[in-house]
Amino acid sequence: MWQAKLCRERIQELQKSEAATGDDLIKIEDEAGTKLKVSGIQSIHAVSRAAASTIWDAKLFGHLASLTKRFSKEYPKNWAAGDHWHASMTKVVKERIERHDNREPFNDLFEGMVAERKAEVPEVSLKDQIAEVEQMNRVVPWHSIKVLPYLRACVDEALRLAPPVATDLMRVTPPEGHTVDGTRVPGNTNVSISVYSARRDPSVFPNPETFLPERWLVKGTDHMKDMLAAYIPFSAGSGGCIGRNVSSLLMLVSVATLVHNYDYTLLSPEWAIQLEEWFNLWPLELLLMISPKRGLANKTSTEALLV
241 is in an annotated binding site: yes
pLDDT score for 185: 94
Q: At what angle do helices 109-117 and 244-261 cross, to 10 degrees?
A: 150
Which residues neighbour 277 within 8 Å (Cβ) at sequence distance 6 or greater?
Answer: 166, 167
Backbone angles phi, psi at 96, to 5 degrees: -70, -35
Nearest Cα to 82, choosing from 30, 5, 6? Answer: 30
Cα-based angle 251, 254, 256 (whole degrees, multiple of 5): 105
Which whole-number Å values give the CA distances from 203 to 42, 118, 208, 223, 303, in the listed order? 38, 50, 9, 10, 42
Cα–Cα distances in angstroms (integers) from residue 170 to residues 58, 138, 156, 244, 260, in the given order: 11, 41, 23, 19, 39
Task: Please state which CATH number belongs to domain 2-17+106-306.
Answer: 1.10.630.10
CA–CA separation, 145 vs 25, rounded Å?
Answer: 31
Answer whether 68's CB lies under 8 Å from 62's CB.
no
User: Cβ distance 224 to 218 under 8 Å?
Assistant: yes
CB 231 within 8 A of CB 163: no
Q: Which of 150, 152, 154, 129 is nearest to 141 (CA)?
A: 129
What is the per-residue pLDDT for 257? 82
Convert the pLDDT of each residue in 263-288 to its tens digit. 888 888 888 888 888 777 888 887 88
Give the three-state DSSP class for 288. Answer: strand
What pLDDT is attached to residue 97? 79
Please give the average pLDDT of every successive group of 10 residues along the chain, which has 307 residues: 58 60 74 79 83 79 85 86 82 79 72 62 41 54 80 90 80 90 91 84 92 86 87 77 82 84 84 81 82 62 36
Query: Taking Cα atoms as reference points, which of 103, 61, 59 lies closest to residue 82?
Result: 61
Q: Is residue 184 exposed (0-12), middle (13-18) or buried (19+ Cβ within 10 Å)?
A: exposed
Predicted local confidence at residue 293, as pLDDT: 78
User: Amino acid letter at 65?
Assistant: A
The answer to whether residues 172 and 191 touch, using CB atoms and an 8 Å cutoff, is yes
Residue 279 near residue 47 (C-beta atoms within 8 A): no
Spatial separation of the C-alpha atoms in residues 86 and 74, rounded to whole Å: 19
Q: What is the pLDDT of residue 236?
A: 73
Look up the pTM and report it.
0.61
**42, 45, 48, 50: CA torsion to nearest 10:** -60
Q: Quote the pLDDT of residue 14.
A: 56
Domain map (residue ranges) of the chain: 2-17+106-306
Per-residue model confidence (pLDDT) at position 7: 61
- The string of pLDDT tens digits covering residues 141-183 is 777 787 788 888 899 999 999 888 877 778 889 999 999 888 9
